[in-house]
Structure 1
C-alpha cells in the first residue's frame, strides 16, 4: 500500500509548525520572556533554538523520511541488524499518549472559555469574580470532562478524514486563521492607550534583569524553552517527515518550521504585554495569566467581548493544532504496527484517550488530595513532568545518537538523507558538535530539570 503524502509543501510546514506551536508558545513564552529580561531573553532563546532545536529536528525528520514509517517501524527499518534502537518506540509512543492525557484537558479549557466569552458570560464581572469562575470550572469534573471529550472527538474526527482531506486541509485553514487572528489582536493591543510601556518591557533588552535572575538561570530558561517548544524526541515530527518527498533538503524545512513557531511566540507577547500594561495588570504566571488576568483586560477594553472571543478562538486553534498532529502520530503508529485500517485506529484510540484523560480532570477536584510532586502539585503536573523532563530530552538524545554514531544509522546515511533535494545544506563540520557536544547539552537539560524540581 502506497503511503499517503502531503499535497503541498505549505501543508507540511504549517502542520509541522502546528505540532510545535502550542500552549508553550502563547502561554509560557510571554511570561518567562518578561521574567528574564524581555528582549535580552529572546536573543538567548533564538540562539539556543538554532544550536539545540535545529539539529535534533533535522535528525527526527530524516529518520521519518528515510524510513517512510512512523515511530512504530522507523528504527526497525534503518537500524543495523542485531541492534536494539527499535525498543525506544515503546517509550516514544508512551510520550505521545502521556502528552495527550493532559493536553486534551487544557485544550478543553480553551474551548470552554471561547464559548463563555462569546456568550458574554464575563461581561460586568470584576477581577475576583473572574478568578472564581476559573476555580468553579476546575472544581466541576462534569464540565471539564465534557469539553475534553468534545476536543478528543473533534480532533480524531479530523484525523479520520485522512491525511490530505482531513489533517492537511483542516490544519492549513486553522493555522492561517490563527496567524491572521494573532496579527489583528497584536495590532489592537499595540494601539491601546498606555501600551508603550508594555512594548518597552517586551522589546528593549534589559540586561539588569538578566543579572537579577542570575545568568545561569536565564540561560537555562532560554535553553529549556527553545528545547521544549518544538515537541522533539517522541516521533511527533518524524511522522510528518515520512509524508514528504525528497525534493527539498531538511535543514531548510526545519528552519521554516522554527521560524513560524518563533513568530507565533513573539506575536503572542505583542498581544499580552501591551494589553496588560495598558490596564495596569501584572502579567502573572501560568493559568492565572490566560484565565483570570486576560478576561479582566478584555472586560475593560472597548469591544472586549469580540477581542476576548477572538483570543480564545486563537488559543483553542493553537492547542488543537498540536492535538491533531499528535493524534496523527498515534494513529500512524497503530496502522504501521498492526496493519489495521485508519478508521479502526481512530475509534480504538479515541476511546483510549478519553479514558486516559480522566485522571488529569479528576486531579483538580475529586483527586486533589493526590499531590505526586509535593504540596500544590496534581496529576497534570506529574504527567507533564514525565513528558517534558524525561521523554522529550531522552528521546531527543536517542534520535541524535542514532543519526550520528556508527552503532546506529550513522552520520553518512543521515547526512545524505538530510541533504537530498534543494535548499540549505546540513553542514559536514557539525559532525563533532552533534556527536560529542550536543548530547552533553541535552543531558545537562535533563539533569538540571531534576535538580530544579527536587533539589534547588
Structure 2
C-alpha cells in the first residue's frame, strides 16, 4: 500500500508545529516565566532551545524521513543487523498512549471553558469565584469524563479521514485560526491601561532575578532546559511520523527551525496576552498552574467585553490542545498500521474504544479517585505527566541522539546525508562532538533532576 503524504509543505509545518504547540506553550510556559522573573528566563530558554531542542527534533525527523516509517518500524529499517534499537518503539508507543491518558482530560477542561465563558457563567466573578467554578468542574466526574470523551471522538474522527483529507486539512484551518485569535488577543492585551509594566517585566531582562544565588540560577536553568526540551514534543516518536510523511525537497534543519520559531512565537505571544493583562489588573503573574483557569478568567471579567475576550482565549487554548491531540492520535494510529499491518479503519475503531478507557483514571482522579496518590509525585494526572515528561521523553531523545551519532546505530554520516538533503538550512557537521557528548549529558541531567524531588520526598 502506498504511503500517505502531506499535500503541502505548509501542511507539514503547521501540523508539526501543532503537535509542538500545546499546553506546554500556553499553560506551562507563562507561569514558569512568571515564577523565574520574566525576560531573564526567556533568554535562558532560547539558548537551550537552540543547543538542545532543535538538534534532537532534526534527528527525529531524519529517522522518520530516512525510514519512511513511524517509530513502529523506523529503527528496524535503519539499524545495523544484530542491533536492538527497535525495542525502544514499545516505550515510545507507550509514551504516546500515556500522554493521551492525561492530555485528553486537560484538553477537555479547555473545551469546557468555552461555553462557561460564552454563557456568562463566570460573569462578575473574582479570583475566589473562578476558583469555585474550576473546583466544581473537577469534582463532577460526569462533566470531566464528558469533555474528555468529546476530545477523543473529535480527534479520532478527524484522523479517520486520512492524512491529507483529515489531519492536514483540519489542522491547517485550526492552526491558522489559532494564530489569528492569538494576534487579536495580543493587540487587546497590549492596549490595556498599565499594560506597559507587564511588557517590561516580560521582555526587559533583569538577570539579578536569576543570579540572586547559585540555587536560584540552577533552578531557573533547569526549568529553562526542561521547557526548551519538552515544548517540541520530542522523544516519543510523535515527530518521527511527520518526518515519514514529507518529501526530500527541503533540508530538515530549516524545517525544524521554522517549526521551532512558530512554537516559540506562540509561547512568547501568549505571554504578551497574560502579563500585560495581569499587571493591568494588579494580579500576580507567578500564580502557578491556576493562572489559566482561575486567575485569567477573573482578569477577563474586569475588561470591557471581557466575556468575548475570555471566550476567544479559551477557543485559542482549545485549538492548541486539540492540535496536539490530533497529531499524537495520528502517530498512535500509524503505529498500529505499520507494526501490525492494520487498516486505518481498524486502528480507528480499536483506539476509539481504548483511548477513552485508558483516560478514565485521570478524569476520575480529581473526584472519584482523588484519594489515589503517589508519594512525592501527586495525583493520577501528575504521575502520568511525570512518567511521560520526565522519563519517556528524555529517554527517547537520548535513544534518537545516540542512534544518529553511533557507529552501532544509524551513524553520523547517514544522519547528516538525510538531514541535509534538499534546499535550505543545513545541519552543521562540526556539531558531531556536541551531539555525541554535550546533548546526552544535558538529557541525562534532565532525567536525573526529574527524580531528585521525588527521591528526596521518599527519603524524608
State the TM bucket, normalised to the shorter chain: over 0.9
Residue 338 of structure 1: how far off its partner (Å): 1.4
What does residue 131 of structure 2 align with? 131
* Stretch deviating more after TM superposition (55-64 or 277-286): 277-286
2-side partners of 1:10 and 1:126: how far apart?
Answer: 42
Residue 207 of structure 1: how far off its partner (Å): 1.2
2-side partners of 1:330 and 1:222: how far apart?
Answer: 29
Residue 193 of structure 1: how far off its partner (Å): 0.7
Contact 1:198–1:277 under 8 Å retained in 2? yes
Residue 455 of structure 1: how far off its partner (Å): 2.4
- Runs of 4 or more consecutive aligned structure 1 residues displaced over 6 Å after TM superposition: none
Cα distance 1:79–1:11, how it changes in 2: closer, same or farther (>3 A)? same
Residue 211 of structure 1: how far off its partner (Å): 2.1
What does residue 17 of structure 2 align with? 17
**Is the counterpart of residue 142 in structure 1 residue 142 in structure 2?**
yes
TM-score by length of 1: 0.98
- 1:223-238 matches, within 5 Å, as 223-238=225-240
Contact 1:137–1:144 under 8 Å retained in 2? yes
Residue 159 of structure 1: how far off its partner (Å): 0.3
Contact 1:27–1:286 under 8 Å retained in 2? no
**Is the counterpart of residue 8 in structure 1 residue 8 in structure 2?**
yes
Superimposed CA distance per residue, residues 101-130 of structure 1 (whole angstroms, 9 cap, x where no aligned partner): 000000000000011111111112333222
Q: Tell me the SS of whatever aligns to 2:332.
A: helix
- 1:40-119 matches, within 5 Å, as 40-119=40-119
- 1:182-201 matches, within 5 Å, as 182-201=182-201
**Is the counterpart of residue 429 in structure 1 residue 430 in structure 2?**
yes
2-side partners of 1:423 and 1:49: how far apart?
Answer: 20
- 1:3-402 matches, within 5 Å, as 3-212=3-212, 214-374=216-376, 377-402=378-403
Contact 1:21–1:261 under 8 Å retained in 2? yes
Q: Tell me the SS of whatever aligns to 1:244.
A: coil
In structure 1, the gaps of 5 or more residues are: none
Q: Tell me the SS of whatever aligns to 1:291.
A: coil
1-side partners of 2:24 and 2:296: how far apart?
Answer: 17
Contact 1:276–1:297 under 8 Å retained in 2? yes
Contact 1:53–1:230 under 8 Å retained in 2? yes
Contact 1:373–1:382 under 8 Å retained in 2? no
2-side partners of 1:126 and 1:221: how far apart?
Answer: 30
Residue 310 of structure 1: how far off its partner (Å): 0.2
In structure 2, the gaps of 5 or more residues are: none
Q: Tell me the SS of whatever aligns to 2:82.
A: coil
Instruction: Give the paired residue count.
Output: 455
2-side partners of 1:230 and 1:275: how far apart?
Answer: 27
Superimposed CA distance per residue, residues 116-152 of structure 1 (whole angstroms, 9 cap, x where no aligned partner): 1111111123332221110000000100000000000
Contact 1:17–1:257 under 8 Å retained in 2? yes
Residue 219 of structure 1: how far off its partner (Å): 1.1
Residue 2 of structure 1: how far off its partner (Å): 1.0
TM-score by length of 2: 0.97
- Across the aligned residues of Structure 1 and Structure 2, the Cα RMSD in angstroms comes to 1.1
Contact 2:54–2:257 under 8 Å retained in 1? yes
Contact 2:58–2:419 under 8 Å retained in 1? yes
1-side partners of 2:209 and 2:163: how far apart?
Answer: 46
1-side partners of 2:427 and 2:125: how far apart?
Answer: 54
Superimposed CA distance per residue, residues 219-259 of structure 1 (whole angstroms, 9 cap, x where no aligned partner): 11111110111111000001000000000110001100100
1-side partners of 2:13 and 2:270: how far apart?
Answer: 20
